[in-house]
């Protein structure tokens, strides 16, 4: 499994890779990790050289499950090994759809990823939305499978008593695509309501974006109303979910949005953008879906869920019901295993 950095990185893509790896190994698959660090999706020459050496060292016929964050940027390095290695692309989020790219950058990433994906025997997309985007890159439908993330039941935690009114929780890296800025603008018009926003997510991946967000809540109407927790994992993250009343995610696009399943498993009402896969991963009975980037619609949705306890309870019930239908990682690994069998069984 080719991973673009530390597998323990607490993002949705790395979490998918890590949980899939564990589940495949539990099924008896001998899967090794091929870690290539770099500034993805913009690898420098040293990173490309490391990739070339790593690929050249793999024995003929090896199946490589390649995380798209790296794979989509390594078309030139993959091409010499297109026939002797069995590439299985794993696409969480097409690279050219990242927020903040200029037109030239988006075009370059789209072309690179399209070329890289031509070398795959199969592509796994993490949602039907992502599968549609992969098809738009020129991959035939018969070579695309959808394997959504699996799920672990959260640990049994008691919901602590909270102060400060309705506790809103956002779990998202501080980058432009997650659009915390929109969320904060919407909430700045609701300061007369009783709420506190808790933001969990790394401030390291886009320091300029993070700095601007933190500065916007240091004074003015949002001062004292927003808590920035930084990156949390394991028990500390689960405790944040347990303490929340509502989950919010203002992303401009998501290839899946694994935090949505976490929120469902904790029985939380959800307010999320109707953007990318979120339109289908947030059940209608569990959440409100204002359009991405629409400040007025977001302010209205937040006002409703903060001020209406009955609405929160109804949506929470919908979340708990939806959580019962979520697949386990064992189920999803079995689906992925079937795709691997097709890749391994295909002639060289």
In this structure, are 101 and 144 located in the same domain? yes
Question: What SS3 state is found at 314?
Answer: helix
Domain membership flag for residue 142: yes
Domain membership flag for residue 244: yes
In this structure, are 241 and 201 located in the same domain? yes
In this structure, are 92 and 223 located in the same domain? no
Torsion of Cα atoms, 65 then 69 then 70 then 72, to 10°: 90
Domain membership flag for residue 159: no
Question: What SS3 state is found at 91?
Answer: strand
Backbone torsion region of residue 20, taken as left when φ is above 0, otherwise alpha when ψ lies between -120 and 50, otherwise beta = alpha
At residue 157, the pLDDT reads 47
Measured from the Cβ of residue 152, the count of other Cβ atoms closer than 10 Å reads: 12
Q: If you write DSSP's letter for every residue of 136-152 in order, what string do you get?
A: HTT--GGGEEE------
In this structure, are 92 and 186 located in the same domain? no
In this structure, are 140 and 242 located in the same domain? no
| Distance (Å, whole) CA 64 – CA 253 | 28
The enclosing domain of 81 has a CATH number of 3.40.50.2000
Degrees to nearest 5, angle at CA 91 with 87 and 95? 115
Q: Domain residues for 225?
A: 166-323
In this structure, are 133 and 262 located in the same domain? no
In this structure, are 52 and 139 located in the same domain? yes
Quote the tokens at residue 122: 């199969």
Print pLDDT tens along the chain (348 aa).
999 999 999 999 999 999 999 999 999 999 999 999 999 999 999 999 999 999 999 999 999 999 999 999 999 999 999 999 999 999 999 999 999 999 999 999 999 999 999 999 999 999 999 999 999 999 999 999 999 999 987 654 445 555 669 999 999 999 999 999 999 999 999 999 999 999 999 999 999 999 999 999 999 999 999 999 999 999 999 999 999 999 999 999 999 999 999 999 999 999 999 999 999 999 999 999 999 999 999 999 999 999 999 999 999 999 999 999 999 999 999 999 999 999 998 666
Domain membership flag for residue 155: no
Domain membership flag for residue 156: no
- For the four alpha carbons of 209, 212, 215 and 219, in that order, the dihedral sign comes to negative
H or E segment at 101?
none
In this structure, are 96 and 189 located in the same domain? no
In this structure, are 172 and 206 located in the same domain? yes
| Distance (Å, whole) CA 223 – CA 246 | 20
Comparing CA positions, the residue from 149, 84, 95, 146 lying closest to residue 117 is 95
Quote the tokens at residue 307: 């001020």
Q: For 139, list phi and psi in degrees, rounded to 5.
A: -85, 125
Domain count, the chain: 2
In this structure, are 283 and 175 located in the same domain? yes
In this structure, are 136 and 28 located in the same domain? yes
Query: What is the distance between the terminal CA atoms of the chain, rounded to a whole angstrom?
Result: 19
Domain membership flag for residue 280: yes
In this structure, are 250 and 196 located in the same domain? yes
H or E segment at 40?
none
Domain membership flag for residue 161: no
Domain membership flag for residue 21: yes
């Amino acid at each position: 499994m080719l991973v673009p950095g530390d597998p323990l990185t607490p993002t949705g893509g790395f979490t998918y890779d890590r949980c899939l790896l564990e589940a495949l190994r539990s099924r008896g698959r001998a899967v090794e990790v091929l870690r290539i660090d770099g500034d993805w999706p913009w690898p420098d020459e040293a990173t490309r050289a490391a990739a070339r050496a790593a690929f050249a060292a793999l024995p003929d016929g090896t199946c490589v499950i390649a995380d798209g964050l790296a794979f989509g940027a390594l078309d030139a390095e993959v091409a010499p090994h297109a026939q002797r290695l069995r590439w299985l692309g794993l696409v969480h989020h097409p690279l050219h759809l990242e927020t903040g790219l200029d037109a030239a950058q988006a075009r370059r990433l789209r072309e690179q990823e399209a070329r890289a994906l031509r070398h795959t025997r199969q592509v796994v997309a993490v949602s039907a939305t992502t599968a549609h985007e992969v098809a738009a890159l020129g991959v035939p439908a018969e070579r695309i499978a959808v394997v959504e993330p699996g799920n672990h039941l959260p640990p049994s935690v008691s919901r602590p008593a909270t102060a400060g009114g309705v506790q809103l929780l956002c779990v998202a890296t501080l980058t432009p695509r997650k659009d915390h800025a929109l969320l904060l603008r919407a909430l700045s018009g609701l300061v007369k309501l009783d709420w506190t926003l808790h933001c969990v997510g790394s401030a390291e991946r886009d320091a300029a974006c993070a700095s601007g967000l933190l500065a916007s809540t240091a004074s003015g109407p949002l001062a004292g109303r927003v808590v920035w927790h930084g990156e949390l994992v394991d028990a500390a993250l689960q405790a944040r979910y347990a303490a929340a009343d509502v989950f919010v995610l203002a992303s401009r696009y998501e290839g899946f949005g694994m935090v949505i399943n976490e929120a469902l498993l904790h029985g939380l009402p959800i307010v999320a953008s109707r953007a990318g896969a979120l339109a289908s991963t947030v059940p209608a009975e569990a959440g409100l879906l204002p359009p991405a980037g629409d400040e007025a619609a977001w302010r209205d949705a937040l006002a409703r869920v903060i001020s209406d306890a009955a609405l929160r309870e109804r949506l929470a019930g919908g979340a708990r019901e939806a959580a019962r239908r979520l697949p386990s990682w064992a189920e999803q690994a079995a689906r992925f295993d079937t795709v691997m069998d097709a890749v391994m069984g295909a002639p060289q």
